[in-house]
A = this chain, B = another copy of it.
């Protein structure tokens, strides 16, 4: 369901193909909402049946035809209603590392520490990316649309990612220290 609204959100800026939507998602929302290309395509089809979008085919030679999607008034209304409707519960998370850790009492200390150090590296790297690459991409898009409210909200979502990664690194540091003290 939410993917529909994500796609409507993008199409509300400009008409584009499923392929282009995937590109935009990958460089903007992917840190808090992602989708595979195949899911985007099938979802767009359903959205067209519902009347949220229309599409027109642009014939190409040599490669598959492009299907360009455009948001319809019904889609715009649905999007706005969705945006105004509050999220009233906590979203359930899935954290593979935590699941594994929970059951890892039989795993030897060194193996476990190696796993945590590996994750620590990944999260530290990701924290850095939020401060450089992600920030640059957002600023670039913000300059194009020229809407300061967009820029503010986009940076708020980016900042969330940055805080999240920093928190995770701190937790990993603490957890590593705790495990090192055992036995």
- Give chain A's interface residues, CB within 8 Å of chain B: 2, 5-6, 9, 12, 28-34, 79-80, 82-84, 86-107, 111, 114-115, 118-119, 122-123, 126, 147-150, 152-154, 156-157, 159-160, 163-164, 167, 170-171, 174-175, 178-179, 182
Q: Is the CB of A104 within 8 A of B153?
A: yes
Residues of chain B within 8 A of A89, CB atoms compared: 122
Q: Is the interface of A mostly helix, strand, loop or mixed?
A: helix
CB distance from A102 to the nearest CB of B (A): 5
Q: Is the CB of A33 within 8 A of B86?
A: no
CB distance from A13 to the nearest CB of B (A): 9
Residues of chain B within 8 A of A34, CB atoms compared: 92, 94
Residues of chain B within 8 A of A115, CB atoms compared: 86-87
Also in contact, A101 and B33, with CB within 8 A (given A89-B122, A107-B83): no
